[in-house]
Amino acid sequence: MAKKRTVVVVEDEDPIRRAIVDALRMAGYEPVEAADGEAGLLEARRAGVDLVLLDLLLPKMDGFDVLRGLRETHAALPVIILTARGSEDDRVRGLRGGADDYVVKPFSARELLARVDAVLRRTPERPEPVVHMRAGDTEVDCARREVCHSDGKRLPLSEMEAGILQRLAVYAGRAVSREELLSCVWGLKDGTVETRAIDMHITRLRQKLAGEPPADPPIEWIVTVRGKGYMLAPEIHVVTEGTQQEDPT
């Protein structure tokens, strides 16, 4: 059975939000509710979100600010703006800010669902979840959150260490910034945790991956990209959920 696609509904008016949530649920989606901008940004940044329906006039944080904050960390996540603001300036500002579509209230459930379907059809699927990673005789079991070395020693990974490694593996081939890791792994974007926390976790993660004593020659799992962040080394073999299910014969 296909997994239901998750849609975050950021709307402060209870009757409208409930009506949208009911329509999405009836159409086979998994809706998540948020009644203000701060809660909406937090929910939208969680793993597994496929699309965001975003009102503009929100308490605690304006919809444009939510959109701006979301685009800093989730550049490709689809966003449809829902608002009573129908002026051309607002529509242009929303679209230039990174919104994928714009629906002016009042709208019918049928129209809204058609827009959601259309935006999701033109949005690339998210990468498959990572199951294992290997380099030399060392393997990472992502489900168990363990590093398995050739001598039989198993080292547990913390939730944060596993989250960092997963993020680097999913986006192998490009640098992942410290700010992106803070947002996507920690769910934070308010400055309460300094980026040095990422560096400390990376150091511990490298030690666990290297083993004791380290392999000879040593295997570099995580590469520091000056001025940009970190990247998974190209030599690391990544097995995703989809490739694991393939029959090699």
Is the distance from CB of 104 to CB of 81 less than 8 angstroms?
no
Q: What is the structure's pLDDT at 14?
A: 94
What is the third-level CATH fold of 6-121?
Rossmann fold (3.40.50)
Q: Which residues contact 110 (CB under 8 A, 6 or more apart)?
A: none
Q: What is the structure's pLDDT at 125?
A: 57
- Does 238 or 9 have the greater pLDDT score? 9
Backbone angles phi, psi at 199, to 5 degrees: -60, -40
pLDDT digits (tens, 9 = 90+) for 110-137: 999 999 999 888 766 555 566 788 888 8
State the Cα–Cα distance between residues 120 and 50, nearest whole angstrom: 8
CATH architecture of 130-244: Orthogonal Bundle (1.10)
- Does 176 or 212 have the greater pLDDT score? 176
Q: Is the pTM of this model over 0.75?
A: no
- Where does CATH 1.10.10.10 sit in the chain? 130-244
Q: What is the structure's pLDDT at 2?
A: 55
Q: Span 201-226, mean pLDDT? A: 83
pLDDT higher than threshold 90 for residue 27: yes
Ramachandran bin of 148, using left for φ above 0, alpha for ψ from -120 to 50, beta for the remaining angles: beta
Measured in whole angstroms, the distance separating CA 27 from the mean position of its chain's CA atoms is: 24
- Where does CATH 3.40.50.2300 sit in the chain? 6-121
Mean pLDDT of the chain: 82
For Cα atoms 70, 202, 211, give the angle at the middle one, nearest 5 degrees: 145
State the Cα–Cα distance between residues 240 and 243, nearest whole angstrom: 5
State the Cα–Cα distance between residues 243 and 169, nearest whole angstrom: 14
Is the distance from CB of 19 to CB of 109 less than 8 angstroms?
yes
pLDDT digits (tens, 9 = 90+) for 31-74: 999 999 999 999 998 877 889 999 988 999 998 999 888 887 77
